[in-house]
Structure 1
Amino acid sequence: MNLLRQLAIVFFFFEVTVYCQYEMHRLGEDYDEESDDDYSPPFYFHPTGEDGIPSRHGPLGCAQECFCPLTFPLAMYCDNRKLEAIPKIPAHVQQLYLQFNEIEAVTAHSFANASNLKEINLGHNRIKSHKIEHGVFAQLPNLLQLHLDHNDLEDFPFPLPNSLERLLLGNNAISRVEAHAMEGLINLTMLDLCHNQLHDSSLKEQLSQMSKLMQLNLCSNRLESMPPDLPSSLMHLSLENNSISFIPDNYFKKFPKLLALRISYNNLQEIPYDTFNISSLVELNVGHNKLKQSFYIPRNLEHLYMEDNEFEYINVTLMCPSIDPIHYRHLTYIRLDQNRLKEPISSYIFFCFPYIHSVYYGEQRKPDGQMVQLKTQVFRRFQVDDDEEEEEGGDGEEHEPEGQEQGRTEENFDPYFY
């Protein structure tokens, strides 16, 4: 009996041990699955020689200072490595990443065999214009994208290959654009020149030949007038934070594809009534100017930003002179905070712009400079499906979705802004 009892005890402990291991295995599976889905951040490892791991992973070769992953055999990562010079680029490389280094010069020697390059990122370095060897980029016939932002450039770089599609030159000290410097850039679709020192004369007759240009960023420069001779292909135009005080009549008539216009933080005091009568325009930002008078709102405009101006009254009739019951206007959002409004906009605005979801008043300035809030609620409208309207009895009343707080005010409204 003692032997049987001892065997029973041993068998019992064996079962307990197996069961516990099974449960721990299940617990581990559950934890790993949850961790992978919700908690594991993406991890990008670019090994260097300092890690004791060789950097030459690809069969086609790689610069010793850089990393060439097997998963991207045509890319070479040399970013954020405190490099002072550009390494020799192997012939097979198409994407070259050299951002966040201490590079001061760009020489043709590094690119002697790199005719297959399609993208070069030299942003966030210390490159000066006179340290770029003449023609170094022009010898790359397949180059599509060039990043030279956040450097110390004083001049617009040239010559550049006519294959180029995207050119980023923001956050430099560019004040000069040599004559014909932009010639040949017939395939350029995006040009970023924000945060430089460009004057009106710098861009005169320089951009007109870029017949495929869709996005032009000229924010934070020293412009005092609207840039002349821009190509008609433009879809996005950024002119924020300049000193522009006047928009000529019919200036935007030559941009039939313009979708977004940002001209905030300028010195505009008056805008010709139908300046923005562009059928394609979807977003318009004229905030942080000195405007007092309303202007015409095109039918397809959806987002309108007019904050921090001198508006005391919004004349809806000027914005919308007539109502078309067939072709509704698409305006959905208006931002009006930091003006001098004494009362909300007339309710006529909701008949003229039936798609409006919200009008943000925020705080308004009093004559003594104090900020006050209008005694009004932020108007919000939510579209209701036809099935839901039938269930509600078709009474035509608008209801907020469940969980939405009724009677919201400006204090708890978080306006959309970019």
Structure 2
Amino acid sequence: MNLNMGILSQSIFHLLWAALVVCQYEDYDFEDDYEEPDQQTPYYFNPNTQAEVPRFPFPVECARECFCPPAFPLSMYCDHRKLKTIPNIPSHVQQLYLQNNAIEAVPAAPFTNVTFVREINLSYNKIKFHMIDQGVFAKLSSLVQLYLQHNELEEFPFPLPSSLERLLLGFNKISRLPGDALEGLPNITTLDLCSNLLDDSVLQDRPFSNMKNLMQLNLCNNKLQTMPPGLPPSLMHLSLENNSISYIPENYFHRLPNIIALRMSHNNLQDVPRNTFNLPNLLELNLGHNKLKQVFYIPRSLQHLYIEGNELENINVTLMCPTLDPLNIHQLTYIRVDQNKLTSPISSYAFFCFPLIRTIYYGEQNVTLNKPTRLRTPVFRRFLTPEEYQEAEDNHETHSQDTEEDHEAQDNNYFYPYFH
């Protein structure tokens, strides 16, 4: 009888332990937006690629400088602790959070026993390229997410494991991409290189061309003067804001049919070939704060168009929409045209071409040198219920009270809306 009870108790213990491990993924809200630097971008675990979980009894070891919550036994939180070195990492850890510290180096010793780690966040530290031990990341064969933004890296931190899927390197000092730096990374889907020191010479060797699964590439806030060459056809989101790009070759996007969102605000574009953006899947196009004097063809898939802060004196709707097709209507719902040189609203023909349009934001126009002027209405809205209209009015009043810093922060938030 005692033997049976012992076996029963042991079985119940094993079941409870298994439920605890499973629930740590079920309880975590992977839908949380990427808002604060110390929040983690949601990652959806693929059961076919997830690393094997150690067998019970489950280890409870945790570095004394860190916190290992019982509800998340595979995670170790060492963030915001003024650490200058990386503590020893227990072998069972799968998520390691070391952001917002004063760490300057990544030695191999703390990772000696690491086997299952899938995510490492080392953002907001003081790490330099030459202070990363050779191959320290490459040996982590289960690693899928690596966060190194807001450090002092002068060079791409290679070699890296082939398992890697998301690599964030924004806000560093990277000015070089060695020829083999991106080789052996077939699973990368997201690569963030915003706010570095990359120029055209760095991209001459087409470093991204062999990244067959790359879906999001962020190159904003660099020193580019031309469009990056050799981008893979898998690309869906491209961010090139705050560079010095002045021209887009006419057939540049023919090899990128899957582009959904393109952001090129704050560049030096003066003219865009008419059919440049004839892309079947394009939903968002942001060309704000360039030097455009004329509009261009709008693909039927496009929903949001931002062309504020240019030098447009009129909006030629026939260039945007040369033909009408009742069976394949344009999906455009929002267009922003403030801070141009418009003296009259967009032609009413626009509402035949774009029957779904809900908002045209005119704002202030730069018609005179020193005195911005408004059209008859700063915002045109249609097809709104009374509740939607009131909500839009409330939002517009809030928007009118935004400070310059608010607008600058919004412009620099290059993650939105790609991570939402």
Question: What TM-score, normalized by structure 1, do the two folds share?
Answer: 0.79
Shift of 1:60: 2.8
Quote the residue 1:307 is aligned against. Answer: 308
Q: Alpha carbons of 1:409 and 1:365: their partners in 2 closer, same or farther (altered >3 Å)?
A: farther
Checking the alignment, whether the CA contact within 8 Å between 1:378 and 1:409 is kept in structure 2 is no
Contact kept in structure 1, 2:363 and 2:378, CA below 8 Å: no
Output one character per residue of 1:94-120: Cα deviation in whole Å (capped at 9) or x when no partner: 100000011000011111111211000
Aligned 1:90-169 pairs, distance under 5 A: 90-169=90-169
Write the deviation string for residues 153-181 of structure 1: whole angstroms up to 9, x where unpaired.
Answer: 00011000010000000000110111111
Write the mapping of 1:365-404 to structure 2, written as runs, cut at 5 A.
365-376=366-377, 378-382=379-383, 400-401=385-386, 404=389
Map of 2:67 onto structure 1: 67
Deviations 1:211-257 (A, max 9, x none): 00000000000000000000100010000000000101111111111
Are the counterparts in 1 of residues 361 and 378 from structure 2 also a CA contact under 8 Å? Answer: no
Structure-to-structure mapping, 1:245-394, within 5 angstroms: 245-376=246-377, 378-382=379-383
Which one-letter code corresponds to 2:376 in the other structure? Answer: K
SS at match of 1:237: strand
**Letter of the aligned partner of 2:123 in structure 1?**
G
Q: Which residue of 2 aligns with 1:39?
A: none
Equivalent residues in 2 for 1:66-85 (5 A)?
Answer: 66-85=66-85
* Deviation by residue 1:284-338 (Cα, 9 ceiling, x = unmatched): 0000000001100000100000000000011000000011011110000000000
2:181 is aligned to 181
AA aligned to 1:252 is F
- What secondary structure, in the 3-state scheme, does the structure 2 residue paired with 1:130 have? helix
| Letter paired with 1:295 | F
Match of 1:202, SS state, is helix
Aligned partners of 2:59 and 2:92 also within 8 Å: no
- Cα displacement string for residues 13-43 of structure 1 (whole angstroms, at most 9, x for unaligned residues): xxxxxxxxxxxxxxxxxxxxxxxxxxxxxxx
Offset at 1:408? 7.2
- Superposed displacement of residue 402, structure 1: 5.5
CA displacement, residues 323-375 of structure 1 (integer Å, 9 cap, x when unaligned): 10111100000000000001111000001000000100000012423200012
Paired letter, 2:177: V
- The amino acid that maps onto 1:276 is F
Aligned length: 346
Q: 2:341 & 2:168 partners in 1: Cα distance?
A: 39
- Partner Cα separation in structure 2 for residue 362 and residue 157 of structure 1: 44
Secondary structure at the aligned position of 1:281 is classed as coil
- DSSP-derived class of the 2:386 partner: coil
**Bigger mean CA offset, 362-371 vs 103-112:** 362-371
Alignment correspondent of 2:28 = none
Q: Give the drift of 1:410.
A: 11
- Structure-1 separation of matches of 2:192 and 2:238: 10
RMSD between aligned residues: 2.2
CA deviations over 1:90-144 (Å, ceiling 9, x no partner): 1111100000011000011111111211000000000001000111000100000
Query: 1:407 Cα deviation (Å)?
Result: 12
Say whether 1:210 aligns with 2:195: no
- Give the residue type in structure 2 aligned to 1:359: I
For residues 100 and 342 of structure 1, do their structure 2 counterparts lie closer, same or farther at Cα, with a shift above 3 Å needed?
Answer: same
Equivalence map 1:22-101=2 (5 Å):
59-101=59-101
**Cα gap change, 1:371 to 1:409, in 2 (>3 Å):** farther
Q: Which consecutive unaligned segments of at least 5 residues does structure 2 have? A: 1-37, 39-57, 401-406, 411-415
Q: Secondary structure at the match of 1:96?
A: strand
> Is the contact between residue 377 and residue 409 of structure 1 (CA under 8 Å) also seen in structure 2?
no
Secondary structure of 1:220's aligned partner: coil
Residue in 2 that maps onto 1:201: 201
- Secondary structure (helix, strand or coil) at the match of 1:359 reads strand
Alpha carbons 1:362, 1:410 under 8 Å: kept: no
Q: Distance in 1 between matches of 2:319 and 2:61?
A: 66
Unaligned 5+ segments in structure 1 are 1-43, 45-57, 384-399
Q: Per the alignment, do residues 112 and 407 of structure 1 end up closer, same or farther by CA in structure 2, a change over 3 Å counting?
A: closer
> Using a 3 Å threshold, how does the CA distance of structure 1 residues 348 and 185 change in structure 2: closer, same or farther?
same
Q: Deviations over 1:55-78 (max 9, x none)?
A: xxx843011111111111111110
Partner of 2:223: 222
Q: CA deviation at 1:380?
A: 1.2
Q: Does 1:240 align with 2:241?
A: yes
State the 1:413 CA deviation. Answer: 8.6
Separation in 2, partners of 1:210, 1:196: 20
Structure 1 residues 406, 284: CA separation in 2 closer, same or farther (over 3 Å shift)?
Answer: closer
**Which letter maps to 1:153?**
L
**CA distance, structure 2, for counterparts of residue 105 and residue 305 of structure 1:** 42
CA distance in 2, matches of 1:300, 1:140: 41
User: Equivalents in 2 of 1:404, 1:102: separation in Å?
Assistant: 49
- Output the amino acid matched with 2:151: N
Give the percent of matched residue pairs that are identical in Structure 1 and Structure 2.
Answer: 60
- Larger Rg, first or second structure (1 or 2): 1
Aligned to 2:49: none
8 Å Cα contact 2:364-2:378 kept in structure 1: no
Aligned to 1:33: none
- Out of 195-204 and 333-342, give the one that drifted further: 195-204
Partner of 1:171: 171
